[in-house]
Each structure stands twice: as C-alpha cells, then as structure tokens.
A and B are shown apart, each in its own frame.
Chain A
C-alpha cells in the first residue's frame, strides 16, 4: 500500500502525481472464497478489513452490485454519536465511536472525523425528561453526555434561536462533545484500500442473484451477474437490499425499507460549529468542511426502493431549520437526494447469525448506520469469523423479535400524557 502522508504527497508532486496507484484493486471474481461479504458499503468493506486484519483471514471477497459505497454510505448526513438510551445500543455505538477516534491512523486515510459535538435539543418538558435520562444512562456507561441550559446551548451553538417566544422554545440540550461528523465516502474508500492491501478482493458491478446451499442447508456460494462464486461463509451487509438477498436463502426479515431524504445548502464560510438534532421538530443540521449545511429530513412513510421521496418531507425539515436557525432562511438548497433505509420494528439493528448455517447478516440500521460503520464492521467480522456474536452485538439478533426482547430506541422517545 502506498503510504499517505504530507511527505508522500510532496514526493508525488515532484513526479507530477503520475506515481499514484489505484487505491484498491477492483478485480474479477475468483471461483471460490472462504468468505464473501455481500454489499460494498462502509459496513461491508469494513467487515472485510477486520476479517483480514483481526481474524487473520485472507481469502475474502466483497461483492457490490453497483459502484463501491454508492448506497447509504454515499447518502447519509455523516453524524456520529453514541449517546443512545439503552445500554445495549450505547455500548454498540460507543464501540464504533472509539474506533472512529483512531480510524484515520488505522487506515492511513484521513476520514476527517471531526469531533464537533452534537446537541440534541429539547423543546418540551417531556424532551427534557427523556434527554436527561439519556445523560444519566450514558454517564453510567462511561459515555460522555451532558445537559446544557438554553443559554449554555446558545453559547455552544450561537446561531440557534433560543427565544422563548417561538412555537417550540429550546428548553435545553444534551451535548455529546465527542460526537461529530466524518467524510462519508472516505470511510468506505479507506476501508477498501486497507482491505485490498490485505488481499481482500473487491468486486464491483456484481449483483448477487442467488444463494447456493448444500442439502444440509449450509451456504456454499452465490450466483451473481458475474457468474457463480463458491463461499464457505456469506456475510450480507446490504442495507436496503438485505431483504432481497436474504430471501434468496428463504429468510424473511423484520425489515421495511423507507426513503430517507437529505439535502445540502450552497457552501458558505464557517457559520455553524456543531451538529444539532431536534427530534421534536424533526431536523438535524451540521456544516461540512466544504461549507455546505448538511440537513437530514424525516423518512417517507412507505416502502420504496426508488431512492427518492416526496418534496413535502424536506420542505417540512426546512421549516424546522428556519425556526431553529432563522438566520439561515436565505440560504438555498443546492442538492437533495434520497436513500433506502432498512428499518426494524424496534429501530435497532441486526448483526447476527441467521438460521441458515454459514449465513450472517448485518442490517436494520435504519437512519443511523453511518455512525456505526467501524463498530458494526468490526463486530460483524467477529461474528462471521467465530460463528458467534461478540458480547456487544449479542442482543442484536433476529430472534429478539420472536422472543420479545426488543431494544426499542424509537419507543423510548414516546410522547404521551
């Protein structure tokens, strides 16, 4: 692997940058691999990397139906945080956050992880109760999270409107200082480059069309648009298409895909110092290194694989942004897009073995998968390599829906009374 550094950049500049080699080898499939990862997004590429790096496995392929990291890795709003309510969730996301903190060095690829802090803004008495419960629960688990008064919130993020005279005044915020954003594409490219360097085959434009199993039911390989490939184990990390792929092995998942839209403004000079999320009025916003305000909208309600949704959804989000940050009303939407989120009934992911021997799945990340990228990849690799989950992802099974042991982060924010 060509080392990346200021020095190598200068040396290549002398050579007019003609000496750079492909960052990863995009290859044709071999007839057989020990492990095939289906899905070349951040999670899948990362899983391949950790399988090679931490579990000493080498004969691994990642197959991707389109261009590498062209799904939700390319489409999210890059927020990274670990201040989830339930211990199972926060442990998982904290595992990821710790990996994020060293990821650029680990991969020798600047993923631009920027710990700018994430404010979760409370607008109602109920919000305050819920977010304070988050703060207490996170502290217990060694996860930083603190409560800010409205004035402290404003001091941390000056553009926020904390006037008591707006429809939903800001009553305070939970702040995780270690939270932040990263450059989403870079994460996938960095994992691809490092995995490729460890011998992982990265196979683009290769769609899985079938899963082969022996008479005992065990996975033996896949059928693809580039021909059959044998495999000892199959790890599916296909986000919105997980249901489609798992159906090839006769497995139905507790998943429903919904469009999720996001948008950016035209770039402006630094004007927004952190990540702000508001569940009550449905908006989240941060400013990218380029200067664009990156804004996430709510999900459209229906099942769709179209990667687009109704304009009323981002319009509603912008209503909320204009309330939270009225100075930004004259900023302009530059670009908007949609992704396919794979949602479980309890809005928590699945990283687990399946009922089919040799078949593993990492899915159900809904609207929050990017922040988990290195953590999910790392634990999925563990699960595949050892044929058993790591203690952190052990609760995130498919069977929890049968047993009723849900990890219901969505319901935890329930509003009533």
Chain B
C-alpha cells in the first residue's frame, strides 16, 4: 500500500485516496475538433518513468493534488498543488 503525502494533511495510507489519472491535461473549449476532444478524453502518455498524476484525499480533506511518481518503482518524487506547474526535478528524475 502506497504512502501518499497529502500536501494538506501529511502522509497517509493509500486507502484514504482516490486516483485521478494523469495530471496537467487541460479541458479544451467546446469548439475544438473531434480529434482534440478525444485526445483530451482518452489519450494518455501512460508514462513508464516519472509520471505527473492526480490524487484526491477522498477520505480526508477531499482535496485534489498532483504528484510525481516513478511508475517503474512506485516511488514518489514530489507532491504539489493543483494549478501549480510540474516541479523541475532537474537531473534527479
């Protein structure tokens, strides 16, 4: 079970959280093309490596937040608030 460091509550067990999928996917305006719309809906990088992803502390504060996690190891590298840019981990990850 993962240990997830909620930016608002601190480290908590994974069972308190709901996964929110890949982060930084902006919802386009309603007048975009079908291709752009379906890309927003369905296409994902499915990164093997460091993935920016969303979690919601659904059984806690209820807040969504972002995390950087390496999908090859499940180790987290950063937790950060929704709306803030992906942290630059430099050469670290």
Known: A255-B46, A301-B18. A345 touches B41 (CB 8 A): yes
* A271 CB–B CB distance under 8 Å: no
Residue interface bits A205-248, CB-to-B below 8 A is 1, else 0: 00000000000000000000000000000000000010110010
- Alpha-carbon distance between A254 and B18 when the two chains are bound, in angstroms: 20
**Structural contact, B71 and A254, CB atoms closer than 8 A:** no
Query: Is the contact region of chain B dominated by helix, strand, or loop, or is it mixed?
Result: mixed
Give the interface SS of chain A, mostly helix, strand, loop or mixed. loop
Minimum distance in angstroms from B19 CB to a CB of chain A? 4
In Å, the complex CA distance between A303 and B23 comes to: 12
Chain B 70-84 per-residue mask, 1 if CB under 8 angstroms from chain A, else 0: 011110000000000
Is B34 engaged at the interface, CB distance under 8 Å to the other chain?
A: yes
Q: How many residues from B make CB contacts under 8 Å with A? A: 27
Q: Report Cα–Cα, A257/B48, bound state, in Å.
A: 9
Q: Given A252-B39, A310-B14, A401-B38, A304–B45 Cβ distance below 8 Å? A: no
Residue contact A303 to B47, C-beta cutoff 8 Å: yes
Q: Are B2 and A310 in contact (CB under 8 A)?
A: yes
Q: A residues within 8 A CB of B69? A: 302
Q: Which of B2, B44, B53 has the most CB of A within 10 A?
A: B44
Give the one of A305, A311, A344 with max B CB within 10 A.
Answer: A305
A312 within 8 A of B: yes
Partner of A241, one of B14, B21, B48, B74: B48
CB pair B46 A402 closer than 8 Å: no
CA distance A345 to B46 in the complex (A): 13
A252–B43 Cα gap in the complex (Å)? 6
Chain A nearest CB from B88 CB (Å) reads: 21
User: In the complex, what residues of B have CB within 8 A of residue A310's CB?
Assistant: 1-2, 14
Q: How large is the interface on A (under 10, 10 to 19, 20 to 34, 35 or more residues)?
A: 20 to 34
Chain A nearest Cβ from B17, distance in angstroms:
8
For A403, the chain B residues whose CB sits under 8 A away are: 34
Q: Does B42 contact A254, Cβ atoms closer than 8 Å? A: yes
Q: Which A residues are CB-close (under 8 A) to B47? A: 303
Cα distance A305–B14 when bound, in Å?
A: 17
B41 and A255 contacting across the interface, CB-CB below 8 Å: no
Please judge, given known A-B contacts A312-B1, A312-B15, whether A304 and B44 are in contact too, CB under 8 Å.
no
Known: A254-B44, A256-B22, A311-B1. 4 other contacts (CB 8 A): A244-B46, A301-B18, A303-B47, A306-B72
Closest 8 CB pairs of A and B: A243-B46, A254-B42, A301-B19, A310-B1, A402-B38, A252-B43, A401-B42, A302-B19
- List residues of B whose CB falls within 8 A of some A CB: 1-2, 14-15, 18-19, 21-22, 34-35, 38-39, 41-48, 51, 53, 69, 71-74
Q: What are 9 pairs between A and B in contact, CB < 8 Å?
A: A243-B44, A243-B46, A255-B44, A302-B69, A303-B53, A310-B14, A345-B42, A402-B35, A402-B38
